[in-house]
Amino acid sequence: MVAWTSLLSLAAVACMAARAEARIFFSEDFEALTEPVSDKWTIATKDAVASIDTTNPKNGKKALRFKVTGNGFGFLTPNTFSPPGNSFFGRINLFVQDFPKKPDFAHFINVEVKGSGNPTLVRPIGGQFIPGETTEFGVGADLGPTGDFTDHKQTVPTTDRKYLCLEWQMRASDNSIQVSIDGVLKPELTINQTSHGGNQVDFIFPQFNNIRFGWQQFQATTDNFDVFLDDIALSTTRIGCNVANGNNGNNNGNNGNNNGNNNGNNNGNKTKVKTTKSKKAKTTTTTTVTTTTTEAPAATGDANANAGAGTGLDAATVSKLTDLLNQMIAVLGA
């Protein structure tokens, strides 16, 4: 009989291997900057002023601030964007002093993705003011076959003057978008190829090559908007909210590990590890194995062989078990 401790060791190897395969391919926390200038991204504004702000960061000491007048806009756009398999996870911490309360049906966006192959502008994070209800988050799109739509939900209202951790997953296999707020999945905001709020045709992603983060309201207004962005990240796996009070603990651990491993590559001369921005140290725990997320095995194959030693299992069986565990982890993390 194979010892349970050996199976737990295999589970630990599979978990660490899965984490090693995760890749944050863009991140920015603004800590190394004094001006909104970077060789990784550009800023575009109209009737807006961008700055690096020290008065209202979510974590650390700095955030990106857009002070927008009326129908102006402010966006940060990474210089390169080519998500593997046309699928990815994203996260921003967003603070809006006052979301739109007029005019009726005022529509705003915070994240917009576009590409080649079709003209659709995909808007995983945005929303709309609905008279008689409230200002509501909603996933939407424009310009493509499905037309201009925002699939807003009254059960997901916006919140003024508070940082919100906004996460989204965009999956090419079914052209789906899922959104989480402060670590909680909002299933009512999910759309996919055949279920969405637009024209009754299939919703299809373009081949993504451009993404921008920031603020724009489209309907005419004399209001001004004060918007802060912090801890922007794009990854091949879910990143998590990095919540200082310890909620969403497993994702916090992954987030610290991924940001730490990728900070040097993605943030140029920024050497500060992302986890230094949190008020609490982070570890990743499961019901079967407790591990720190500071280091992954150098080679999955070698780790598999070592894990199989003394279990009575040959290398092929160990490999199959590890593959199965990886699949289970992928399902649980989706």
DSSP character at residue 278: S
| Residues 64, 30: Cα–Cα separation, whole Å | 7
Task: Report the pLDDT value the prediction gives residue 22, as an integer from 0 to 100.
Answer: 58
Task: Report the pLDDT value the prediction gives residue 6, as an integer from 0 to 100.
Answer: 52
Determine whether 60 is exposed, middle or buried from the number of CB atoms within 10 Å of its CB (0-12, 13-18, 19+). middle
Task: Report the pLDDT value the prediction gives residue 307, as an integer from 0 to 100.
Answer: 37
Instruction: Please state the pTM of the whole predicted model.
Output: 0.69
Tokens for 134?
A: 């409230």
Task: Report the pLDDT value the prediction gives residue 240, as an integer from 0 to 100.
Answer: 95
Spatial CA neighbour of 189 closest among 178, 201, 202, 176: 178
- Using DSSP's 3-state secondary structure scheme, residue 303 falls into helix
Q: How many residues does the chain have?
A: 334
Task: Report the pLDDT value the prediction gives residue 37, as an integer from 0 to 100.
Answer: 97
Report which residue type is found at 329.
Answer: I
Q: Would you say 74 and 227 are in contact if contact means Cβ atoms under 8 Å apart?
A: yes
DSSP character at residue 31: T
Q: Would you say 264 and 27 are in contact if contact means Cβ atoms under 8 Å apart?
A: no
Task: Report the pLDDT value the prediction gives residue 67, as an integer from 0 to 100.
Answer: 98
The number of C-alpha atoms within 13 Å of 107 and in the hemisphere containing its C-beta is: 14
Q: 10-residue block means of pLDDT along the chain (334 residues)?
A: 49 47 87 98 98 97 98 97 98 98 97 98 98 97 97 97 98 98 98 97 98 97 97 96 43 37 37 34 34 33 38 47 51 48
Residue whose token pair is 């078990």:
321
Helix H or strand E encompassing 11: helix 4-21
Tokens for 325?
A: 């565990």
Q: How far is CA 179 from CA 108, 207, 235, 324, in A?
A: 16, 20, 15, 27
Rounded to 5 degrees, what are φ and ψ at 214? 160, -130
Provide, for the chain, the percentages of residues in helix, strand and coil under a 3-state DSSP scheme, each rounded to the nearest 5. Answer: 20, 35, 40
Task: Report the pLDDT value the prediction gives residue 9, as an integer from 0 to 100.
Answer: 52
Q: How far is CA 288 from CA 9, 142, 165, 317, in A?
A: 9, 46, 29, 21
Q: Would you say 307 and 6 are in contact if contact means Cβ atoms under 8 Å apart?
A: yes
Q: Would you say 137 and 157 are in contact if contact means Cβ atoms under 8 Å apart?
A: yes
| Residues 215, 98: Cα–Cα separation, whole Å | 12
Nearby residues of 249 by Cβ (< 8 Å), 6 or more positions away: 282, 283, 284, 285
| Residues 324, 14: Cα–Cα separation, whole Å | 9
